[in-house]
Chains A and B, each alone.
Chain A
């Protein structure tokens, strides 16, 4: 499938993510917090809660509520972003909730809410994936009972070639079939909690992309796990 001469703009191998950095406890005020970066894409996340849900009418007596907010810092990109929620950020916030919720034992917290605030400090594509990775670590750091930690990566198709962890140059790829962006979030067992796609791809290639994500999310999971373990070693 892949063309032999294909080279990624920054010289990475097709299945190689940018250098990852993971750290917990970056916001001392929060109940849990974490930083996760893919190269120049840096996300921080903070967890507040579980706490009583207000307003009261939003309380769910059957289970707790996970409430995520994804927000890009105004100077995280070339063209300044107007502060405040947009249609895009509203959607990504919900996607982040959906990505994380299957890993949480949220049933234990009726009438409560867990707030997760994700901020993108610096963006070079794959921001929602970095945000989800940071948020998953922050939830664990906050001591929320969880079944596991989810890990997120963007799979890209540049012309005909599948790659992992798209950067901005790759997102804007125009040669051949152009760029297809497929952010995927998985549990360590390979269950998919989130998938999106923009671009053009066949069913068979997509299936291949999902397998690639499986491999890559395993590596990301190890990075997240190590950061969490290191934080309690001291």
Chain B
């Protein structure tokens, strides 16, 4: 059920005093927990929990033809499914906007940051390249699926290894992973979404907070200070000053989030 208006009003009242229902400060993340290798069949996988929010992300690889405009690069595809299992709000059927947007937000952060070194995934120029599929599934939605999915994607990629490829028969020997990792760069793109509720700015909203969010900005960037992807969501205008403030909050948060998951990225 969508958050009732009375609860929404209360959330705003609390935030005006700098408080949240769960006792967090406005710029405080919930606890992040990470598990890798959650699927034996995927070439790389991760489970990320942020509070009660949980996603699993799997990386699958195949050998395929390159796209005509990048004959010497591997292919990348990110999709997401918001499972009805994970929330009473999601329904079966073709993906709707939230699922499409989630996939595209993660896709753009990964692609624009050049985190995957796609040029190293070329087997034969113009003919054969590795295709990388990153698939995101929600397991429990208690807000902030975007940031959880972003972490899941980079961690799953970091653990992913290429399967053995039988050149002669042109077949992948699934289940037989080589020691070769999926080539990724050192700079790690981290996605952080900042929300505006009333006059307050918060990060890592719960579902209730997300419901009353008036505007959000999702930013993919590194702790080194490069920004790769930005998207404003929801229909409330922001002043230039507010955007600048959100850029600052996002930068600080990115560093905090990075340090709490750093150990999974080695």
Contact B112 A214 (CB under 8 A): no
Q: B231 contacts the other chain (Cβ, under 8 Å)? A: yes
B interface footprint on A160-200 (CB within 8 Å = 1, 0 otherwise): 00000000000000000000001000010011111111111
Which B91-114 residues have a C-beta within 8 angstroms of A? 97, 100-101, 103-104, 108, 112-113
- Whether B227 lies near A195 (C-beta < 8 A) is no
Q: Which residues of A contact B226 (CB under 8 A)?
A: 200-202
Q: Which residues of A contact B240 (CB under 8 A)?
A: 190, 192, 210-211, 214
Tell me, yes or no, whether A98 is within 8 Å of chain B by CB.
yes
Please tell me the number of chain A residues within 8 Å of chain B, measured between CB atoms.
Answer: 31
Verify B100–A97 contact, CB threshold 8 A.
Answer: no
- Interface assignment of B225: CB less than 8 Å from any CB of chain A: yes
A202 to B225, Cβ gap below 8 A?
Answer: yes
The CA-CA distance from A88 to B235 in the complex, in Å, is 19
Interface stretch of the complex, out of B14-22, B42-50, B131-139, B243-251:
B243-251
Q: Mark A12-51, 1 if CB is under 8 A from B, else 0.
A: 0000000000000000000000000000000000000000
Residues of B within 8 A of A54 (CB): none
Do A192 and B243 contact each other (CB < 8 Å), given the known contacts A200-B228, A203-B225? yes
Report how many A-B pairs have Cβ atoms within 8 Å. 84
| B232 sits at the interface (CB 8 A) | yes
Q: Give the Cβ gap from B234 to chain A, nearest Cβ, in Å.
A: 6
Cβ of B97: which chain A residues have Cβ within 8 Å of it?
90-91, 94
- A203 contacts which chain B residues (CB < 8 A)? 225, 227, 247-248, 251
B239 on the interface (CB 8 Å rule)?
yes
Note all chain A residues with C-beta closer than 8 A to B229. 197-198
Task: Indicate if the CB atoms of B235 and A197 lie closer than 8 Å.
Answer: no
Distance to closest chain B CB from A204 (angstroms): 9
Contact partner, B100, options A91, A191, A196, A214, Cβ 8 Å: A91
A110 at the interface (CB under 8 A from B): no
Task: Looking at the assembled complex, report how far the CB atom of B100 sits from the nearest CB atom of chain A, in whole angstroms.
Answer: 5
Q: Give residues 77-121 of A contacting B (CB, 8 Å).
A: 87-88, 90-91, 94-95, 97-98, 101-102
**Residue in chain B with minimal CB distance to A147:** B237
Q: A90 touches which one: B100, B225, B228, B236 (CB < 8 A)?
A: B100
For A205, the closest partner residue in chain B by CB is B227
Interface size class of B (residues with CB under 8 A): 20 to 34
Those of A136-174 within 8 Å (CB) of chain B: none
CA A197 to CA B238, docked complex, whole Å? 16
Contact of A195 with B235 at beta-carbon distance under 8 Å, contacts A200-B227, A201-B226, A202-B226 already known: no
- Flag whether B233 is at the interface (Cβ < 8 A): yes
Contact of B247 among A87, A98, A206 (CB under 8 A): A206
Q: In the complex, what distance in Å separates the CA atom of A136 from the CA atom of B248?
A: 31
| A87 CA / B101 CA spacing, docked (Å) | 8
Is B261 an interface residue when CB atoms closer than 8 A count as contact? no
Collect the chain A residues with CB atoms within 8 Å of residue B207's CB: none
Shortest CB–CB separation between residue A177 and chain B, in angstroms? Answer: 10
With A90-B97, A200-B112, A202-B226 as given contacts, are A195 and B243 in contact (CB-CB < 8 Å)?
Answer: yes
Return chain B residues, CB-CB under 8 Å to A197.
Answer: 227-231
Instruction: For the complex formed, measure the closest distance between the CB of A109 and the CB atoms of chain B, giving whole angstroms.
Output: 15
Residue in A closest to B236 when the chains form the complex, CB atoms: A102
Task: Report whether A207 and B247 are in contact in the complex, using a CB–CB cutoff of 8 Å.
Answer: yes
Judged by a CB distance under 8 angstroms, whether B217 is at the interface is yes
CB-CB under 8 A for A199 and B243, given A91-B101, A101-B235: no
Closest Cβ–Cβ distance, residue B229 to chain A (whole Å): 6
A206 neighbours in B (Cβ, 8 Å): 227, 230, 247
Residues on A facing B (Cβ under 8 Å) = 87-88, 90-91, 94-95, 97-98, 101-102, 182, 187, 190-203, 206-207, 210-211, 214
What 7 A-B pairs are tightest by C-beta distance, nearest first?
A197-B230, A101-B235, A191-B237, A102-B237, A98-B235, A195-B232, A193-B237
